[in-house]
């Protein structure tokens, strides 16, 4: 089972992705983690990434797509992918479909965590203190949110037509969001504990 979780920066995508990884014995595909890894390694790609982040821009699709291709074609992770924060653009969404088709996979669920701007700023300010994230500060947060609304909104429209698309109130408590997602996924008659998948 492959699942997409997307929403504004700070919506809690990573938290819910980790929840699903544990429940479904899957693998988290976090473009954010992959990009930060390049930054920490101080690679040329990492330098380009941090410049984009500082400007509140998204990283070039070409960079992200190359990093993802290796994961999608990993046979050990086939049909066990939880996409955290990807795709962010229509180009990325179409590229993901192409890669999944080539590897005989598909997206089974799409979750959109809908959170308002004020809640996002409060959450990320708190996360900055707890996780010491270098990409978290007030100005960067606002730039990233505005960029998200401009660039990623078309992706929301694109996926909202999919029968497996589900919008979840991301302003709820973390445990309540997890419960809501679990309820929706369980509609497939999934034995969460044994991770035995049987489509009803």
pTM recorded for the entire structure: 0.78
Please give the pLDDT value at position 91: 87
Q: Could you confirm whether domain 3-184 is CATH 3.40.50.720?
A: no
Asked whether residue 176 carries a pLDDT value surpassing 60, the answer given is yes
Mean pLDDT of the chain, nearest integer? 83
Q: What is the 3-state secondary structure (H, E, C) of the chain?
A: CCEEEECCCCCCHHHHHHHHHHHHCCEEEEHHHHHHHHHHCCCHHHHHHHHHHHCCCCCCHHHHHHHHHHHHCCHHHCCCEEEECCCCCHHHHHHHHHHHHHCCCCCCEEEEEECCHHHHHHHHHHHHHHHCCCCCCHHHHHHHHHHHHHHCHHHHHHHHCCCCEEEEECCCCHHHHHHHHHHHHHCCCCECCCCECCCC
* Window from 51-60, 74-83, 150-159 with minimum mean pLDDT: 51-60
Q: What percentage of the chain exceeds 70 in pLDDT?
A: 87
Asked whether residue 134 carries a pLDDT value surpassing 60, the answer given is no
Asked whether residue 136 carries a pLDDT value surpassing 60, the answer given is no
Mean pLDDT of 193-197: 42
């Amino acid at each position: 089972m492959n699942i997409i979780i997307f929403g504004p920066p700070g919506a809690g995508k990573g938290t819910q992705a980790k929840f699903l990884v544990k429940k479904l014995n899957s693998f988290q595909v976090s473009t954010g983690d992959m990009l930060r890894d390049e930054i920490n390694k101080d690679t040329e790609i990492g330098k380009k990434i941090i410049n984009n982040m500082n400007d509140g821009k998204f990283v070039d699709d070409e960079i992200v797509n190359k990093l993802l291709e290796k994961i999608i074609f990993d046979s050990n992770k086939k049909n066990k992918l939880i996409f955290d924060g990807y795709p962010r653009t229509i180009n990325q969404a179409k590229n993901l479909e192409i890669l999944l088709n080539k590897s005989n996979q598909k997206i089974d669920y799409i979750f959109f965590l809908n959170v308002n701007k004020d809640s996002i700023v409060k959450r990320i300010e708190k996360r900055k203190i707890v996780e010491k994230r270098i990409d978290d500060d007030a100005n960067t947060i606002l730039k990233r949110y505005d960029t998200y609304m401009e660039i990623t909104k078309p992706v929301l429209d694109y996926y909202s037509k999919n029968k497996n698309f589900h919008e979840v109130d991301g302003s709820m408590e973390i445990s309540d969001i997890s419960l809501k997602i679990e309820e929706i996924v369980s509609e497939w008659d999934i034995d969460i504990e044994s991770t035995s998948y049987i489509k009803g």
